[in-house]
Amino acid sequence: MEPAKEKVNLRKRFRDAVARLTSAERQEASTHARGQLLKQPVWQDAMTVLFYAPMADEIDLWPLAETALTLGKRIALPRFVPEQNAYEVVEVTDLETELHRGLYGVPEPGPECRAFPQNDLDLLLIPGLGFSTAGVRIGRGKGYYDRLLANIQGTKCGVGFDCQVDDRLPTEPHDILLDFILTPTFGLVAAHRNQA
């Protein structure tokens, strides 16, 4: 099967698997994932972190955004630029006042927030629908994150539930490989690129 067609089936499978998790299970998984990340040098050493505002079917690392600011880290979020049909990296300094409803209803930095030099990012936390330990990520099919990540040098960490990991994921030329995968049970797993 062609990778693009196979990904359509995989997206449905991963969505269905996450949908079977109860709200309590998702919250517990998110709590475990946050605890796993806090113990990792890749988090502790990072002075600049790209977060994502979680959708209902994504691991919720959002409480760590406030933690990061308290620790003196700089944080950024993606902001959609309609004219380019793409996301840009934007710094956020106040989580209470600077976030507004963006594309797909997801909070994004407002117009008062300034663009962040994307290659100043140390750690990028990236959601998705499916991941492999080879660093392959399957997103929602629009290619937004692949385009965003294409020219960023920071450590790229995919974040998902345990049921979103499958080491038989197909790849396409435009797919950007990740450096790590973070899940509630497995913790932070370094990508084994030689298996991709």
- Give the pair of three-digit tokens for residue 126: 């990236």
Ramachandran region, residue 105 (left: φ > 0; alpha: ψ -120 to 50; beta: rest): left
> Which whole number is the average pLDDT over 116-138?
95
Residue 195 is predicted with a pLDDT of 40
Mean pLDDT of the chain, nearest integer: 93
Q: What digits encode the pLDDT tens for the residues 34-49?
A: 999 999 999 999 999 9
Say which CATH number the domain at 50 has: 3.40.50.10420
AA identity, residue 119: N
Q: What digits encode the pLDDT tens for the residues 89-105?
A: 999 999 999 999 987 78
The answer to whether 180 and 37 have CB atoms below 8 angstroms apart is no
Q: What digits encode the pLDDT tens for the residues 120-130?
A: 999 999 999 99
DSSP string computed for the chain: --HHHHHHHHHHHHHHHHHTS-HHHHHHHHHHHHHHHHT-HHHHT-SEEE--PPPTTS---THHHHHHHHTT-EEEEEEEEGGGTEEEEEEES-TTTSEEE-GGG-EEE-TTSPB--GGG-SEEEEE-SEE-TTS-EE-SSS-HHHHHHTT--SEEEEE--GGGB-TT----TTPPPPSEEEETTTEEEE--GGG-
Chain CA centroid to CA 195, Å: 22
Residue 196 is predicted with a pLDDT of 37
State the total domains in the chain: 1
Q: Which residue has the tokens 């309609």?
A: 82
Q: What digits encode the pLDDT tens for the residues 11-36?
A: 999 999 999 999 999 999 999 999 99
- Confidence grade of residue 151 (pLDDT, cut at 50, 70, 90): confident
Question: The whole model's pTM is what?
Answer: 0.94
Q: Which domain holds residue 78?
A: 3-195
Indicate if the pLDDT at residue 141 is higher than 90. no
Indicate if the pLDDT at residue 193 is higher than 70. no
Q: What digits encode the pLDDT tens for the residues 49-108?
A: 999 999 999 999 999 999 999 999 999 999 999 999 999 999 999 999 999 998 778 899
